[in-house]
Structure 1
Amino acid sequence: MQYYYGTQMPLRVLDECEFWKLQESEHTVVIREAVQNLEQEYVDKLKKWEKDLTRTHQRVMRFMETAVRSDGTFLHSLYRDLMQLVSYCLDESQQFIHFLHQLKQKSEPINTNFVALTIMDHIVRESEYFIGIAQTILYQSKG
């Protein structure tokens, strides 16, 4: 993400959150489709993650609509709410990564399949990328 957006930076931050929450939601589907014979317990957990990540994505979209209607004027309260949303997105991604690591360790169809492990590692790296973006945003806002 480029950091030269000036007053449009909050909208750019929302773009990142929107994109990565959608990606994470889609990744739950990729795992379910790519891993044959995935244990039902993990299929169910992935479906719950999909719902939760989709809900967060929708929350970000609603916030974007509010921000756009503010004509780019981010009052303190709106900016504070944005930082809380970014923090929530970051925490959710960290929890998602933790779940994916557990899945890699505990699911036999995943931990015995090189392709499945490669897919899982790729998904983890993508969520870690978003976490890096979100942390940078949060640290800059506190500086």
Structure 2
Amino acid sequence: MQYYYGNQMPLRLLDEAEFWKHQEAEHTEVIREALNGLEPEYVQALKEWEQALTETHQQVVSYVETVNRMGYTFEELQEQVTELIKYCLDESLKFIDLCREIEANSAAAKDNPFAKTLLNHIIRESEYFVGIARIILYGHTPA
């Protein structure tokens, strides 16, 4: 991510969150469709995650629209955007935990090389967003 956006930085931060929340919501559907025989509790958990991630995505989009229409400056939105990014980070970490749980405990994934590859890919993508969010929030990626 480039940091030369100046007073447009809130939009850039929100753009990242918007993209990754949309990706994670889509990933819930990909997992449900790709893993034949996925246990009902994981199917249900993924449906609930899809709803939650979609709601977060919509909240981020709402912020983007507000910034675009109202012309707020970074200072005016900094605290709100920071809190939203913290929420997005925490949400992604929990989604990663669910993916790891499915990989470790689901019969549909445990001995299925494709499922492991898919889940690891999804985890890596969410971890990428986690890294971006940590840089945004803390200026570096904590060890």
TM-score, with structure 2 as normaliser: 0.94
The superposition leaves residues 17-44 of structure 1 with CA deviations (integer Å, 9 ceiling, x where unpaired) of 0000000000000001100111111100
Deviation, structure 1 residue 72 = 4.9
Deviation, structure 1 residue 4 = 1.2
The superposition leaves residues 103-126 of structure 1 with CA deviations (integer Å, 9 ceiling, x where unpaired) of 111101111110010000000000
Alignment pair present for 1:42 and 2:42? yes
Helix, strand or coil for the counterpart of 1:75? Answer: helix
**Which residue does the alignment assign to 2:131?**
132
Q: Contact 1:25 / 1:50 at 8 angstroms: preserved in 2?
A: yes
**Which residue does the alignment assign to 2:95?**
96
**Which residue does the alignment assign to 1:53?**
53
Helix, strand or coil for the counterpart of 1:2? Answer: coil
**Which residue does the alignment assign to 1:68?**
68
For this pair of structures, how many residues does the alignment match? Answer: 139
**1 CA distance for matches of 2:82 and 2:121?**
27
Deviation, structure 1 residue 46 = 0.5
Q: CA RMSD in A?
A: 1.0
Letter in 2 for 1:105: A
Helix, strand or coil for the counterpart of 2:115? Answer: helix
**Which residue does the alignment assign to 2:105?**
106
Q: Which runs of 5 or more residues in structure 1 are unaligned?
A: none
**2 CA distance for matches of 1:67 and 1:18?**
14
Letter in 1 for 2:63: F
Helix, strand or coil for the counterpart of 1:98? Answer: helix
**Which residue does the alignment assign to 1:22?**
22
Runs of 4+ residues over 3 Å off in structure 1? none
TM-score, with structure 1 as normaliser: 0.94
Q: Which runs of 5 or more residues in structure 2 are unaligned?
A: none
**2 CA distance for matches of 1:116 and 1:74?**
42
Q: Contact 1:67 / 1:74 at 8 angstroms: preserved in 2?
A: no
**2 CA distance for matches of 1:102 and 1:35?**
14
